[in-house]
Structure 1
Amino acid sequence: MTSVTNSRTGGCHCGAVRFEVMLSDGLQSVRRCNCSYCRMRGSVVAAAAPDGIKILQGEDVLTTYRFNTGTAQYFFCSRCGIHTHHQRRSDPNRHAVNVACLDGVSPFDFPEVPVTDGINHPNDTGKPARLAGILHFESASEP
């Protein structure tokens, strides 16, 4: 792990899983995806550096889910059900982490989150990855 600013800690909702992650470019890579699973899961993720996730506690309570091609592997706490991170389909040596699991970070900290077109995944189409849209969040003003 190379940069202090890209090093973060986090965990699941119940606290059974704790991890340290080295983000590949800080929180500049936040995104969502519109594939069938990500659309239902709804998390905002940030890219982790290769081998950038270290489970500090709770590896025994992490469980996984795979679908479609079975390449991507989604990790979640078997106690509280929170998705903590996943192994990416586009590059199985890379991971992405759920920003809501990072200490001191909320998905609502980002006024705009790019949404990648996972419905038309590059591994299926042979075409470059493309943007499906932008998710916007605007905080309601205080009364």
Structure 2
Amino acid sequence: MKTYHGSCHCGAIKFRVVSPEITSGVRCNCSICQRKGALMTPHIYSPEELVIESGAEQLSVYQFGSGVAKHYFCEVCGIYPFHQTLRKAGYYRVNVGCLEGLEPLELTVEVFDGRSL
């Protein structure tokens, strides 16, 4: 397991996630992910594995449809650092572009058919 540190663009939100090494990413074709265009971690993290270190008060949440998934974004810079998933409520995927030491454009990309859920 490895600890990755992450933040939004402006640094108001800082977090860490304990994860197997991240060597690939996931793109989803659901309506919000298609518009965000972010590359997400392939792993889904428990609340214990994703720790918000600072800036929780700067997080806003967007929900639609069933309201199960929670898409978090920074109120200051608008960046999406992570979301709670539809398939496993209360668990998270992380925006790979927000993690230090990873280059999203160099990772293998898997496609997830979220549109069909």
Task: Assess same fold via TM > 0.5.
Answer: yes
CA distance 1:9–1:100, change in 2 (3 Å):
same
Match of 2:45 among 42, 49, 54: 49
TM-score (norm 2): 0.92
Give me the whole-angstrom Cα distance separating, in 2, the residues matched to 1:28 and 1:106. 10
Which 4+ stretches in 1 moved above 2 angstroms? none
Q: Distance in 2 between matches of 1:30 and 1:94?
A: 17
Establish whether residue 16 from structure 1 lines up as the match of residue 12 from structure 2. Answer: yes
- Length-normalised TM-score, structure 1: 0.76
Unaligned ranges ≥5, structure 1: 122-143
Aligned residues: 115
The alignment's C-alpha RMSD in Å is: 1.3
Higher RCO (C-alpha 8 Å, min separation 6): 2
Deviations 1:38-86 (A, max 9, x none): 0000000112431211111100101110111110001111000000000
- Are the equivalent residues in 2 in contact too, given 1:45–1:96 (CA < 8 A)? yes
| Contact 2:25 2:104 (8 Å CA) reproduced | no
For 1:61, which of 39, 55, 58 is the aligned residue? 58
Q: Identity percentage over the alignment?
A: 36
Larger radius of gyration: 1
